[in-house]
Structure 1
Amino acid sequence: MSKATQYTGYQSYSYLTPGVDYETFELSDELDRVPEYDLGLDAEQLARTRRLVEDNIVVSLHDHPQVFPRDVGKIREYIRTGREHTGYAGLARSGMTAVFDNLMDGTACVTSKCGWKWDDILYDIGMRLCDLAHQDFVRVVHGLDDIRAAHENGQVGLVLCLEASTPIENEVDRIDLLYGFGVRQMGIAYSESNTLGSGLKEKRDGGLTAFGRRAVARMNKLGMAIDVSHSGDQTCLDVFEASEKPVLITHAGARAVWPTPRMMPDDVLKACAETGGVLGLEAAPHTSLSKQHPRHSLESVMDHFTYCVELMGIEHVAFGPDTLYGDHVGLHKLFAANLGVHDAHVGPDYEEVPYVAGLENPTECFHNIVGWLVKHGYSDEEIQLVVGGNVVRVLEQIW
């Protein structure tokens, strides 16, 4: 099920000649790559779920709506071309009004195996914007008016984001440049420390640096949202203290539910809420597990949801599923060193899954999330808040 859209079938880079102007790869299926998740909803619940998705602004605080090669072994080769394909067909069926698109993040290896290089990030953004400029279904979001217009016009708004500020190095003016290129949200650090602060895989968290405080102040002045999802605990707390505007945790969960560094401790979650910020619930493979549901699925993620709603208040909880079109587990293995996967996932033993049932890709996530909330007795008003209303409210203060 999906809301009516103005999507007309455009595919990435179709204004060029494949095999002549750019190298081609056999890509993963955007639609129906895995079996449909059965929530066991009756006809009335299905109708209510559809209505809630269609009638409301639905925002993902964190996703990667790109299509990856079917052959995992070709992903690095694909990325080095600088032409990741956007999943337009999948987005048209997603029910989302807007998605915070985190681009290549730590996999931006166009010129380097290590990622996060300034030139690679700009190459990625420029190529993506060129593709977006050749169609009119997905619109680049520069402010809340674009999100509202996308909802009215049957479009999907794409918010350009970076998961870490690492590419700015020690140049605060690069934040202005990124804002000029359309970036509207940026993380402090991604696992590894940088000039702003400590990443979550570091054994000693030095907190936000003096330069980091300058960067936070600049992002506040520009109206760029700040994310601390991959930052160390003390760095998170320092950012909350330094920022004059609410801060986001775009994709994480509760460490009390699943004790790994990738999840956030209670004091960080509560401090985020106290700034007026919002948490987006994470669903990337083998992250937001739970003791009740150690085999990663929608149910595991919703265990984090119920805990965080109780801890933070429902007005501070949303969803940032962190999904993509392709083999996410295979991509994690391929880029484990770049992304700090092993360091971030230290904790209880878990059963590896081929994908997260119910939250495998951007197309299915919010239909299943809303369906789960309907099935478990949440009101229309509560559902509206967590699927988009909370994000819109906080962006009114930040942007």
Structure 2
Amino acid sequence: MQEPAPRYQGHKSYEYLEPHSDYRVFALAPELGRVPGHDLGLTDAQQQRVTRLLTEHIAISLHEHPVILPEDVRELRAYNRTARQRTGYEGLSRSGLTAVFDNFMAGASCVTSENGWKWNDLVYAVGMRLSDVYKQDYVTLATSVADIHAAKRDGRLALVAGLECSSPIENELDRIDILYGFGIRQLGIAYSQANMLGGGLSEKSDGGLTHFGRRAVDRMNKLGIAIDVSHSGDQTSLDVIEASRVPVFITHAGARSVWDTSRMKPDEVIRACAERGGVIGIEAAPHTTLSEKHPHHSIESVMDHFTYCVDLVGIDHVTFGPDTMFGDHVGVHNTYAANYGHDAGNRPEHPRVEYVSGVENPAEAFTSIVGWLVKHDYSDDEIAKAIGGNTLRVLEQVW
């Protein structure tokens, strides 16, 4: 974990409002020290190299939910219904990141519906969070590659607003333009369950990208919105990659050849993404990127997927989208399993963990990842590509 960024001045979410009067107060999970740190066994020289690499190079997490959860996970639904999820500014200030793709947990906001992904809930989730971002001077909304470079230069952290799912647009193509106007620069096609655009990974059959989905991909291309197929079905993913005029992201997933579940991507999809210039971000949410070699989910399991994908398509097409948050991520999955639908399908037996050691939250994830890469003798150039350079290359084409 890095020292706090000098630009961070201690802002806490909604501190400009009056607690209990303007918003409901919840006891929150700690941003730092909730679980024991993960010891990679680095030497002092290796640790210094980690710090140098994160200082010198742009580091971008391709997928996170950097919000602070309630300390008592049983309060999660009540907390999310208020639409005032707290951003973990202090934790982000220690992350070493230059930019973070923030996916706003719109499917869990459930302000107007227990099922989430409603247009009004999405507007609440994005509007409330960004209203708070605009009231401080460390995290800044990024809508261009230039904004990411400016954040690096100025000691800030660039937040890229993204959504994992396009279900809230329903059959209204112009809502994509509205989202672009709100600052959204990354959109997923489907979140596990099928929608108007295409199939989700939890469905038994996947009919692929729909006619409306092709029109939506075209509109995203015209606007300059990065497309994500992480939760899309295999055929839909292939169709999107083929239909898009610019490279596509798999922002947070792993390799099905390493861990055989529908949540992971088959070699065919990973190759197709890379062949069109795209990038896969390796996932680390609990009980996703496991491996037979490391069935207790930890950074070692995660990196088994990284090394496999690098061997499959080359290091120019692999990065990281850890998909972490501040608090009990396992509890989130348990609370919203029926809503999310991503636990469907083949699920090999494996030990359950309370957290993913080494990549438990946004404050520690990239420090641990860079530490692992340093320990395993990756070059500075390879590490720079894997932690941000590859993502920047795609964004320069997409945005």
Q: TM-score, normalised by structure 2?
A: 0.99
Corresponding residue number in structure 1 for 2:85: 84
1:206 aligns with 2:187: no
AA in 1 matched with 2:53: L
Corresponding residue number in structure 2 for 1:373: 373
Q: CA deviation at 1:129?
A: 1.4
SS at match of 2:158: strand
Report the Cα distance in structure 2 between the residues aligned to 1:193 and 1:175, rounded to whole angstroms: 18
Corresponding residue number in structure 1 for 2:234: 233
Corresponding residue number in structure 1 for 2:391: 391
User: RMSD over aligned Cα, in angstroms?
Assistant: 0.8
SS at match of 2:38: coil
Relative to structure 1, the CA distance from residue 178 to residue 162 in structure 2 (aligned partners, 3 Å threshold; closer, same or farther) is: same
Report the Cα distance in structure 1 between the residues aligned to 2:37 and 2:301, rounded to whole angstroms: 18
Corresponding residue number in structure 1 for 2:196: 195
Report the Cα distance in structure 1 between the residues aligned to 2:130 and 2:44, rounded to whole angstroms: 41
Corresponding residue number in structure 2 for 1:361: 361
Q: CA deviation at 1:3?
A: 6.7
Q: How does 1:44-123 map to 2 (within 5 A)?
A: 44-123=45-124
Runs of at least 5 residues in structure 1 that lack an aligned partner in the other structure:
none
Report the Cα distance in structure 2 between the residues aligned to 1:31 and 1:149, rounded to whole angstroms: 27
* Conserved? CA contact 1:332–1:341, under 8 Å: no
Report the Cα distance in structure 1 between the residues aligned to 2:52 and 2:4, rounded to whole angstroms: 9
Alignment coverage as a number of residue pairs? 398
Report the Cα distance in structure 1 between the residues aligned to 2:269 and 2:343, rounded to whole angstroms: 22
* Conserved? CA contact 1:252–1:288, under 8 Å: yes
SS at match of 2:161: strand
* Conserved? CA contact 2:202–2:342, under 8 Å: no
Percent same amino acid at aligned positions?
62
AA in 2 matched with 1:155: R
1:173 aligns with 2:174: yes
Report the Cα distance in structure 1 between the residues aligned to 2:199 and 2:152, rounded to whole angstroms: 37
1:317 aligns with 2:318: yes
Report the Cα distance in structure 2 between the residues aligned to 1:50 and 1:2, rounded to whole angstroms: 10
Runs of at least 5 residues in structure 2 that lack an aligned partner in the other structure:
none
Report the Cα distance in structure 2 between the residues aligned to 1:105 and 1:312, rounded to whole angstroms: 32
AA in 1 matched with 2:209: L
Report the Cα distance in structure 2 between the residues aligned to 1:108 and 1:210, rounded to whole angstroms: 29
Corresponding residue number in structure 1 for 2:187: 186
Q: Deviations for 1:217-244, whole angstroms, at most 9, x for unmatched residues?
A: 0000000000000000000000011000
Q: CA deviation at 1:68?
A: 0.5
AA in 2 matched with 1:347: R
Which structure 1 residue ranges, 4+ long, deviate > 6 Å from structure 2?
none
Corresponding residue number in structure 2 for 1:217: 218
* Conserved? CA contact 1:188–1:197, under 8 Å: yes
Q: TM-score, normalised by structure 1?
A: 0.99
Q: Deviations for 1:19-61, whole angstroms, at most 9, x for unmatched residues?
A: 1110000000001111111000011101101100111100000
AA in 1 matched with 2:203: E
Report the Cα distance in structure 1 between the residues aligned to 2:360 and 2:316, rounded to whole angstroms: 26
Report the Cα distance in structure 2 between the residues aligned to 1:231 and 1:322, rounded to whole angstroms: 16
Report the Cα distance in structure 1 between the residues aligned to 2:284 and 2:63, rounded to whole angstroms: 10
Report the Cα distance in structure 1 between the residues aligned to 2:397 and 2:315, rounded to whole angstroms: 18
AA in 1 matched with 2:108: T
AA in 2 matched with 1:392: L
Corresponding residue number in structure 1 for 2:155: 154
Corresponding residue number in structure 1 for 2:248: 247
Report the Cα distance in structure 1 between the residues aligned to 2:251 and 2:173, rounded to whole angstroms: 22
* Conserved? CA contact 1:2–1:54, under 8 Å: no
Q: Deviations for 1:109-153, whole angstroms, at most 9, x for unmatched residues?
A: 011000000011011111111111110100001101111111111
Corresponding residue number in structure 2 for 1:299: 300
SS at match of 1:334: helix
Report the Cα distance in structure 1 between the residues aligned to 2:122 and 2:89, rounded to whole angstroms: 22
Report the Cα distance in structure 2 between the residues aligned to 1:91 and 1:207, rounded to whole angstroms: 37
Q: How does 1:256-335 map to 2 (within 5 A)?
A: 256-335=257-336
* Conserved? CA contact 1:253–1:281, under 8 Å: yes
AA in 2 matched with 1:322: D
AA in 2 matched with 1:25: F
AA in 2 matched with 1:76: R
Q: CA deviation at 1:4?
A: 3.7
SS at match of 1:284: coil
Q: CA deviation at 1:2?
A: 3.6
* Conserved? CA contact 2:106–2:125, under 8 Å: no
SS at match of 1:179: helix
Report the Cα distance in structure 1 between the residues aligned to 2:241 and 2:127, rounded to whole angstroms: 31
* Conserved? CA contact 1:65–1:91, under 8 Å: yes
